[in-house]
Amino acid sequence: MTNMMTQTNTFASLADSVREARAWSEPAWFLERRGRGARHFAELGFPSQKLEDWKYTNIKPVAEAEYQVPGDEASVSAGVLAEFEYGDLDAHRFVFVNGVFQPALSHLDKLPKGVTASTLREALTTDNETFRKYFGAQADIEKHHLTALNAALVQDGFFLAVAPNTVVEKPFHLLFLTTSDAEPAIANLHNVIVLGTSAQATILETHGAAQTHRYLKNIVTEIDAAPNAHLDRYVVQRESVENGWHISSEYVHQGRDSNVRSHSLDFGGDIVRHNIWAKLDGEAAEAVLNGLYMLRGNQHVDNFMWVEHTKENIPSHELFKGILDEHASAAFTGRIYVHKEAQKTDAKQTNQNLLLSDTARANTRPQLEIYADDVKCTHGATIGQLDEQALFYLRSRGVDPIQARNLLIHAFACDITERIRIPQVLDKAEELLTAQLGESK
């Protein structure tokens, strides 16, 4: 009871802070949703390990922190920005600091006709019809704890709407940074991505910090892909290893023949939780969900996925790989749910973990729930250490022990990295992987 009272008091204080900080106009429907989010979070609170879906992730430190909402005036230096850029990548850049858009740090070239790209605040003040239709359409604030919290306290976010038959050639780079003297700081963001029929776009998200104070980043993303739409999405998480708490909740809805490819790369964060609820709601819709996490110290990353097949002939493929060293830990829960009408489903789910120390640990739970009889569904999980025979073979060919170890780790990771279609992002992923291997010899 004491813990819930602390959460309620902290939440009330946060709600007051967000209310005071809002200098922009919010329509009645949005304010009403804030209120519903507040009421549901007051009922739900933060999730605990007593809940089956949170069994392996203890967010008690996150729940008990007394957060502060940083002001809108924060910024970061050019040097900090450069650290989170990708070489010569030509992209539309949206920079958010402490949950608030920073126009002076952002760069948006001329967009094709039929493309709207803006912040959540701008979409609200212009009363964008598409934004109003899709914002909150999937995000479940009645059942999902952190989504309810986000609804009540959301500060800003990214909105993209691509008209039918429109191709956006340049990717959008969304850079979410935290830098604040307030400790612990909190940022709540909500992104909405809407692709019309046969539209195409690429999204790159980068998450990081420019300070060492404790903070929580709570992000909700809703994606709606109309028939034959194609979305490539990359999420590079580089939060503070000691002080960064990162929770993301993603909701995906796909129409017929659509294709959504999502790749998450986790290198940072102290406590990290990714939630994905994907509904494949049209024949031949395809979802590809991949993830790579490389952890050390006391880092913890939890990937939770629910992929729902509702129509015939729908493929989905999930591959998540973890590299864990020192006292790091990881959890994976992946459920493929096949409706009775979803005949000829082709679903494959795999989670593999490589433990580099005797104190690292991984918990994995791939799951199938099938109500159709003409399907091809598989799942698998492995937890192991480096192959001693492979190490011996490399060393017998004159490769020194550290280099041999790193070669095998790179080979393990390349199943994920080789699927990255943006060369500059692939180069950065290899650079981060190499750097982290150098720190955990």
Q: Which residue is listed with tokens 């003040």?
A: 125
pLDDT, average across residues 377-405: 87
Contact 139, 249 (CB under 8 A): yes
- pLDDT tens readout for residues 393-407: 888 888 888 888 889
**Closest alpha carbon to 311 in 278, 338, 277:** 338
- pLDDT tens readout for residues 24-46: 578 999 999 999 999 999 999 99
pLDDT band of residue 4 (cuts 50, 70, 90) is: very low
**Average pLDDT score, the chain:** 91
Highest mean pLDDT among 65-79, 181-195, 315-329: 315-329
pLDDT band of residue 2 (cuts 50, 70, 90) is: very low
Rounded to an integer, what distance in angstroms lies between the CA atom of residue 370 and that of residue 241? 39
What's at 436, amino acid-wise?
Q
Give the rounded percent of residues in the chain with a pLDDT score beyond 90. 78
- pLDDT tens readout for residues 97-156: 999 999 999 998 889 899 999 999 999 998 889 999 999 999 999 999 999 999 999 999
Rounded to an integer, what distance in angstroms lies between the CA atom of residue 140 and that of residue 121? 21
SS3 297: coil
Q: Look at residue 78 in the predicted model and tell me its pLDDT.
A: 83
> H or E segment at 16?
helix 2-21
Residue 250 tokens, joined: 């993603």
Question: Can you name the residues that pair with 162 across neighbouring β-strands?
Answer: 115, 195
Rounded to an integer, what distance in angstroms lies between the CA atom of residue 100 and that of residue 179? 11
CA 52, distance to chain mean position in Å, is 21
Q: Look at residue 287 in the predicted model and tell me its pLDDT.
A: 97
Residue 334 tokens, joined: 């992946």
Provide CB contacts within 8 A for 426, sequence distance 6+.
Answer: 417, 418, 420
Residue 106 tokens, joined: 């952002």
Q: Look at residue 26 in the predicted model and tell me its pLDDT.
A: 87
Provide CB contacts within 8 A for 271, sequence distance 6+.
Answer: 57, 59, 61, 62, 245, 246, 300
Residue 188 tokens, joined: 């709540």
Contact 271, 172 (CB under 8 A): no
Tell me the whole-structure pTM to 2 decimals: 0.94
